[in-house]
């Protein structure tokens, strides 16, 4: 299990979920990019939102779209929600050296 958390920008909704399916489907470059961004990217949750068993994630997305998206029109860089993955659990052996290499100066 690769634990992840997701919360809306206003912190009105928050949840924990298993991000393993996202990592099983992600290419190595996406995992490296995620590591470079301190294990925080919306694609981790976005890929799962429509799947069975992830209804609470869908509800969080719906709340963010209905309640917070109008505020993001003024600032398109403002995220209506954030998802963070437990990076220590997310390490895949085939990308570990790529992540280490990307972190080197």
How buried is 4 (Cβ within 10 angstroms: 0-12 exposed, 13-18 middle, 19+ buried)?
A: buried
Q: Are 38 and 80 in contact (CB under 8 A)?
A: no
Domain range enclosing 9: 3-103
Q: Give the chain's domain count.
A: 1
What beta strand segments (E) does the chain contain? 3-8, 14-18, 81-85
Q: Name the region of 11 (left: φ>0; alpha: ψ -120 to 50; beta: rest).
A: left
Determine how many CB atoms are found less than 10 A away from the CB of residue 44.
24
Distance of CA 63 to the CA centre of its chain: 17
Distance (Å, whole) CA 76 – CA 2:
30
pLDDT in tens, the chain (105 residues): 889 999 998 899 999 999 989 888 888 888 888 888 878 777 788 878 888 999 999 899 889 888 887 765 666 566 788 888 888 887 677 777 777 666 555
């Amino acid at each position: 299990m690769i634990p992840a958390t997701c919360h809306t920008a206003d912190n009105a909704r928050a949840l924990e979920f298993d991000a393993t399916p996202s990592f099983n489907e992600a290419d190595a470059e996406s995992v490296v990019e995620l590591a470079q961004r301190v294990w925080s990217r919306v694609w981790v949750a976005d890929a799962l939102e429509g799947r069975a068993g992830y209804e609470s994630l869908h509800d969080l997305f719906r709340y963010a779209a209905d309640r917070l998206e109008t505020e993001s029109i003024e600032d398109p860089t403002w995220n209506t929600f954030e998802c963070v993955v437990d990076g220590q659990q997310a390490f895949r052996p085939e990308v570990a050296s790529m992540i280490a290499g990307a972190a080197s100066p």
